[in-house]
């Protein structure tokens, strides 16, 4: 199962990211993982939050452009070599990664992947014995 | 050696000009009264009839016309002749509801072209010159106006129209153009491009430029003159009254001579409408003295300037006006090209996006900068930076093919475009005049 990521457009200038976190904080939304891609003029915030529905609603109400993007999340051992092992499966299945980010939990590490054909990639990796996390699983981390 | 197109008129003694105007004005007012119901009703409401207008001293008795009247009477309400007598229209604006559509009889065109021919001669033009008209041709009066004048003078006319700077330069250099007609910002741009290509002023065959349709500073004039190795002449006009050539600069470069045999000028207090004495700054008001199709009386230009009758050493006796301080209008002229906000709207709509945009025009090193801010929408957005950039590029390409010039598209957050009383501010023009 893919996980829903919230992607938000921000202008590349001081204060815009803070405006975003201000709104999320006011609505008690917890950010579990966040990555920021930028150009000289704008940025795209990609994040996993505990309440995707609430997050996108409050952002839209506050004039942000926020969309939901499916991403694949995998849990791996937080030890040397485990990301390398995971990526070998991506290579073997010829899955192209558009972007990725990661965060470490108490016991395991979590890798988030954006691929162009999420369903196909997920099936290919599943056949190699890799099971992606569900929204509930990632929320429970 | 002063060079005139119609010396007997251009250098007519002031008393004779006044006598001519005293003869033309009462007849023109009667003509408009008889043929334009809209203005007749205005005169009636104002308690004035043609019998009250015996000379130009009675001009102040007549009601003003403004852009609002042009809108109310659009399209045919101010037409004084049957459509079958009209041979042309020109227009100032696109689809935003503030358009001015002016009609011309062949006689009106002749008058207009005489005026631009006078401007070309004042810039030293003769039948031996090669005159490149790089104003836009089409609804905009710049191209057709100067083109007609150039023909009347007998110059070899190169009708390049605006845009495609490389081709402009090719014609200037290969066909030895001696006079360039375009907007000052486009002249500056052509000049900078020639400089980048390694041409020195002495390599460039141009000797004069007739630049108008937008505000420009003395500093910009000097820069253009230096880069192109020319003398730069200002020209003024407005579609409502005819087009470029209502007034033009002579070699003295100290104000523009108004073609007073055709256009009667006044300066008024823009707040009270009171006529101000010569030499006082105020709003310029024109009365067309002998136009047939679209004859406006006491038309308020919204241009602020001063008039002077001080003797001009060029020999011309017609009153001179100072360079106006700009005009509020829908149409923008950017790098010599007409840009209507509605065109930007069209490009956005064609791509399936909402039309939340703002045009920002500035000037850096005498060249216009042109940015279009577009508010991001969910339709335009993806989580992929490259894809968002590609969509931005599609808009830039669309604008370029629509307008003929390059615009920088900046994506901004929703609801960030300046709004005034709930309405988005569509144009921010920071060009210093």
A vs B, Cβ pairs < 8 A, gives: 51
Asked if B383's CB is within 8 angstroms of A65's CB, the reply is: no
Measure A55 CA to nearest chain B CA, in Å: 15
B1-325 folds as: Rossmann fold (3.40.50)
Domain boundary among A23, A51, A69: A69
Q: What SS3 state is found at B136?
A: coil
Let me know whether A80 and A114 are in one domain.
yes
Helix (H, G, I), strand (E, B) or coil at B42: helix
CB A108 within 8 A of CB A94: no
Q: How far is B349 from chain A (nearest CA, A)?
A: 19
Predicted confidence (pLDDT) per residue in B321-366, tens digit: 998 764 544 668 898 887 877 778 778 877 878 778 899 999 988 8
Instruction: Give residue-wise pLDDT tens across range B262-278.
Output: 999 999 988 899 999 99
A11 shares its domain with A63: yes
Query: What residues of chain A score a pLDDT lower than 50?
Result: none
Count structural domains, chain A.
2
CATH number at residue A17: 3.30.2130.10
pLDDT at position B420 over 80: no
A125, A111 contact by CB (below 8 A): no
Of A16, A39, A114, the CB nearest to B383: A114
**Is ipTM strictly over 0.95?**
no
Q: Which of B383, B411, B413 to probe by mutation at the A interface, max A CB count within 10 Å?
A: B383
Surface of A (74-113) touching B: CB under 8 A: 98-99
Same domain, A103 and A44: no
Q: Which of A37, A67, A99 sits opposite B378 (nearest CB)?
A: A67
Cα nearest neighbour of A19 on chain B: B413
Q: Report CB contact under 8 Å: B382, A41.
A: no
- pLDDT band (50, 70, 90) for residue B50: very high
Q: Which of B413, B415, B416 to mutate to test the interface with A (most CBs of A within 10 A)?
A: B413
| pLDDT score for B94 | 41
Question: Between chains, do A114 and B376 touch, taking CB under 8 Å as contact?
Answer: no
Q: What is the CATH number of domain B331-429?
A: 3.30.300.30
**Segments of chain B assigned to CATH 3.40.50.12780:** 1-325
* pLDDT at residue B130, as a whole number: 98
Reference B48, options B265, B297, B302; nearest CA is B297
Distance from C-alpha of B70 to C-alpha of B58, rounded to nearest angstrom: 24
Q: With cut-offs at 50, 70 and 90, classify the pLDDT of residue B281.
A: confident
Strand B179-182 with B130-133, pairing? parallel
Interatomic CA distance for residues A97 and A90, integer angstroms: 8
Q: Which of A52, A69, A86 is the last residue of a domain?
A: A69
Segment 13-52 of chain A within 8 Å of chain B by CB:
16, 37-39, 41-42, 44, 46
B379 in reach of chain A (CB within 8 A): no
Query: What's the distance, Cα to Cα, between the start and end of chain A in Å?
Result: 16
CA separation for the pair B344, B350 (Å, rounded):
10
Q: How far apart are CA B189 and CA B224, in angstroms?
A: 9
pTM of model > 0.80: no
**Cα–Cα dist A24/B224, whole Å:** 55
Regarding whether A133 and A78 lie in a shared domain, the answer is: yes
User: Can you give the pLDDT at residue B292?
Assistant: 98
The neighbouring-strand residues paired with A99 are A114
Domain endpoint, select from A29, A46, A69:
A69
C-alpha–C-alpha distance, residues B369 and B363, integer Å: 5
Average pLDDT, chain B: 91
3-state secondary structure of B12: coil
Alpha carbon distance B189, B329 (integer Å): 23
Closest CA to B341 of B330, B328, B350, B325: B330
Distance from the Cα of B214 to chain A's closest Cα (Å) equals 31
* Largest Cα–Cα separation, chain B: 75
Q: In B11-164, which ranges are continuous DSSP H helix?
A: 14-35, 37-45, 67-72, 106-122, 142-153
Which comes out higher in pLDDT, residue B268 or B163? B268
Q: Which two tokens stand for residue B221?
A: 């004039």
Query: Do both A50 and A82 map to the same domain?
Result: no
A63 touches chain B (CB under 8 A): yes
Q: Kindly tell me if the per-residue pLDDT of B208 is higher than 50.
A: yes
Which chain A positions have a beta carbon within 8 Å of B382's beta carbon?
A: 7, 67, 69
Q: Is the pLDDT of residue B96 over 50?
A: no
Cβ–Cβ below 8 Å for B381 and A9: yes
Among the listed residues B341, B357, B353, the one whose alpha carbon sits nearest the alpha carbon of residue B410: B357
**pLDDT for the residue B192:** 80
Q: How far is B301 from chain A (nearest CA, A)?
A: 40
Q: Are A59 and A78 in a shared domain?
A: no
Assess contact for B36 and B79: CB atoms under 8 A: yes
Best of A42, A66, A68 to disrupt the B interface by mutation (most B CBs within 10 Å)? A42
Using only C-alpha atoms, chain A has a radius of gyration, in whole angstroms, of 16
Q: Are residues A21 and A59 in the same domain?
A: yes
Q: How far is residue B189's CA from residue B187's CA, in Å, rounded to a whole number?
A: 5
Q: Tell me the per-residue pLDDT of B389-415, one tens digit each, with 9 for 90 and over.
A: 999 999 999 999 888 889 999 999 988
Phi–psi pair at B143, nearest 5 degrees: -60, -60
Q: What is the pLDDT of residues B129-161, one digit of tens each?
A: 999 999 989 999 999 999 999 999 999 999 999
| Domain coverage including residue A83 | 71-140
Least Cα distance to B373 among B352, B359, B390, B392 occurs for: B359
């Amino acid at each position: 199962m893919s996980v829903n990521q919230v992607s938000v457009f921000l202008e590349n200038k001081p204060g815009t990211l803070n405006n975003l976190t201000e709104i999320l904080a006011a609505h008690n939304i917890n950010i579990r993982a966040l990555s920021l891609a930028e150009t000289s003029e704008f940025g795209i915030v990609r994040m996993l939050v505990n309440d995707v529905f609430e997050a996108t609603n409050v952002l839209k109400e506050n004039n942000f452009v926020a969309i939901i993007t499916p991403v694949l999340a995998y849990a791996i051992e937080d030890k040397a070599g485990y990301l390398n092992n995971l990526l070998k499966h991506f290579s073997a299945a010829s899955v192209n990664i558009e972007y990725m980010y990661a965060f470490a939990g108490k016991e395991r590490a979590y890798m988030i992947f954006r691929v162009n054909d999420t369903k196909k990639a997920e099936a290919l990796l599943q056949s190699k014995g890799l099971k992606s996390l569900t929204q509930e699983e990632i929320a429970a981390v | 050696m002063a060079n005139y197109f119609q010396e007997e008129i251009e250098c007519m003694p002031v008393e004779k000009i006044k006598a001519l105007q005293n003869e033309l004005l009462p007849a023109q007012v009667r003509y408009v009264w008889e043929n334009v119901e809209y203005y007749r009703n205005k005169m009636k409401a104002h308690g004035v009839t043609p019998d009250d207008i015996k000379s130009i001293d009675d001009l102040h008795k007549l009601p003003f016309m403004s852009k609002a009247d042009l809108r109310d009477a659009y399209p045919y309400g101010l037409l004084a002749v049957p459509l079958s007598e009209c041979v042309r229209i020109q227009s100032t604006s696109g689809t935003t509801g503030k358009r001015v559509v002016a009609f011309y009889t062949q006689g009106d065109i002749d008058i207009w072209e005489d005026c631009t021919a006078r401007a070309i001669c004042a810039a030293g033009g003769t039948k031996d010159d090669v005159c490149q008209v790089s104003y836009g041709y089409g609804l905009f009066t710049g191209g057709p106006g100067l083109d007609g004048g150039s023909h009347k003078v007998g110059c070899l006319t190169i009708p390049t129209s605006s845009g495609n700077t490389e081709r402009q330069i090719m014609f200037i250099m290969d066909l030895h153009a001696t006079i360039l007609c375009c907007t000052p910002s486009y002249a500056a741009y052509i000049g900078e491009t020639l400089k980048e290509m390694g041409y020195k002023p002495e390599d460039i065959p141009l000797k004069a430029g007739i630049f108008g349709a937008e505000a420009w500073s003395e500093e910009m004039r000097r820069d253009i003159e230096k880069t192109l190795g020319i003398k730069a002449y200002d020209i003024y006009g407005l579609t409502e009254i005819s087009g470029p050539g209502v007034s033009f600069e002579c070699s003295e470069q100290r104000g523009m001579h108004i073609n007073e045999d055709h256009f009667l000028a006044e300066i008024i207090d823009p707040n009270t409408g009171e006529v101000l004495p010569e030499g006082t700054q105020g709003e310029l008001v024109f009365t067309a003295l002998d136009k047939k199709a679209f004859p406006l009386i006491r038309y308020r230009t919204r241009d602020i300037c001063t008039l002077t009758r001080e003797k001009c050493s060029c020999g011309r006796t017609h009153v001179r006006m100072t360079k106006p301080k700009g005009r509020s209008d829908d149409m923008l002229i950017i790098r010599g090209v007409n840009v209507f906000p509605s065109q930007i709207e069209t490009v956005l709509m064609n791509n399936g996006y909402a039309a939340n945009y703002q045009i920002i025009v500035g000037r850096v090193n005498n060249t216009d900068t042109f940015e279009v801010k577009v508010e991001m929408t969910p339709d335009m957005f993806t989580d992929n930076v490259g894809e968002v950039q590609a969509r931005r590029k599609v808009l830039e390409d669309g604008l370029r093919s629509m307008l003929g010039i390059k615009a920088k598209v900046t994506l901004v957050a929703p609801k960030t475009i300046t709004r005034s009383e709930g309405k988005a501010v569509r144009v921010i023009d920071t060009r210093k005049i």
